[in-house]
Chains A and B, each alone.
Chain A
Amino acid sequence: MTGLRYVYAVCRPFGTPLQSQLTGVGGAPPALLRHHGLVAVVSQVPAADFCEEALKAHLEDLDWLSVTARAHQGVIDALTTVTTPLPLRLATVFQDDSGVRTMIEAREDDFLRILDRLEGRVEWGVKVYLEPEPAAEPAPAGQPASGRDYLRRRRQSTHATEERWQRAEAFARSLHEGLSRYAEDSRLHAPQNSALSAEPGRNVLNAAYLVPRAHSEEFVELVDRTKDEAPGIRVELTGPWAAYSFVGEATP
């Protein structure tokens, strides 16, 4: 037997069965492992891919990482439709079921406390981008008349760039404050690298908000209302996600 146990999430027991066609990481169907008052959602993965060394190599392979992350998310998504899952970090792997049971026993109190806090809540992601600078600045026609003229033009252009940045940052700050007041909790992720995201513009805010499912519609409207507030700025909303960013302790 060379299979390892990949654990996606821990949940309270739930009545609805998982979709029968659901597949997890590596194509194996996820199963429920009940222990004490909790359920671990697990599937079998080949040791050849998930032993420490292989995993390290795989994690530097974008294609592998992408397929694995999407499979993990697929299971979490399916769980989100039937319960409030407590998602584990990508590639949490145990030798066997007894390892999973031992882990549940060791963390039982934490799990129950966090599950209580997250019950009925979802995560929304909000990102703010400063759009790429307009291609053609209304540059004064012709060559600079003098060295002094050249320096003046350069100063003006630098000044304009700084102003755009400051405006975007002020916008992001005020949006974050507004959304944080509405949400139960919030987390700031590092701004995304544009080479990685392939998104135009600079990412100035990358935040996650914990919102009761019942209030999600209002939250989305709140984000939507900022639409016409600032030129040159783009807001992107993702979700609803399982509460990945809120599995730690609540911020006081």
Chain B
Amino acid sequence: MTVVERREIALVDLLDRLLAGGVVITGDLTLRIADVDLVRIDLNALISSVNASVPSPFEEIL
């Protein structure tokens, strides 16, 4: 087993925190993500579909 420490933060780790964590503000004057879980599901679907057809398009951004 190895313990890995990275310098570059992976996008998934960021999204775990920025889309599932952080204080959620609701109110009339706020515009916010309507349903983050839905966004997450769409995102996963998007990724699996792109992943299936194109070999590895994410290396630059992840």
User: Which residues of A lie under 8 Å from residue B21 when comparing CB positions?
Assistant: 87, 89, 208, 244-247
Q: A89-B24, A228-B1, A234-B4 are in contact. Are A197 and B62 (CB under 8 A)?
A: yes
Type the 1/0 row for B3-30, where 1 means its CB is closer than 8 Å to any CB of A.
Answer: 1111001111111111111111101011
Judged by a CB distance under 8 angstroms, whether A28 is at the interface is no
Which residue of A has the minimal Cβ distance to B29? A99
Stretch at the interface among A54-62, A147-155, A157-165: A54-62
Q: Is the CB of B3 within 8 A of A89?
A: no
Q: Is the CB of A103 within 8 A of B27?
A: yes
Stretch at the interface among A30-38, A135-143, A176-184, A188-196: A188-196
Q: Is the CB of B30 within 8 A of A93?
A: yes
Which residue of A has the minimal Cβ distance to B36? A89
Q: Is the CB of A92 within 8 A of B30?
A: yes
User: Which residues of A lie under 8 Å from residue B9 when comparing CB positions?
Assistant: 70, 73, 238
Which residue of A has the minimal Cβ distance to B10? A197
What number of A-B contacts does a CB cutoff of 8 Å give? 173
Q: In whole angstroms, how far apart are the Cα atoms of A51 and B34 in the complex?
A: 12
Q: How many residues on chain A are close to B (CB under 8 Å)? A: 70
Q: Is the CB of A102 within 8 A of B29?
A: yes
Smallest Cβ distance from A96 to chain B, in angstroms?
Answer: 8
Smallest Cβ distance from A125 to chain B, in angstroms?
Answer: 6
Q: Is the CB of B12 within 8 A of A102?
A: no
User: Which residues of B lie under 8 Å from residue A95 when comparing CB positions?
Assistant: 29, 31
Q: Is the CB of B23 within 8 A of A237?
A: no
Q: In whole angstroms, how far apart are the Cα atoms of A231 and B14 in the complex?
A: 28
Smallest Cβ distance from B17 to chain A, in angstroms?
Answer: 4
User: Which residues of B lie under 8 Å from residue A198 when comparing CB positions?
Assistant: 56, 58-59, 62
Q: Is the CB of B12 within 8 A of A244?
A: no
User: Which residues of B lie under 8 Å from residue A197 when comparing CB positions?
Assistant: 10, 12, 62
Smallest Cβ distance from A56 to chain B, in angstroms?
Answer: 7
* B-to-A contact residues, CB < 8 Å: 1-6, 9-25, 27, 29-34, 36, 39, 42-44, 46-48, 51, 56, 58-59, 61-62
In the A-B complex, the 9 residue pairs with the closest CB atoms: A99-B29, A244-B21, A244-B17, A89-B22, A90-B18, A197-B12, A245-B21, A66-B61, A93-B31
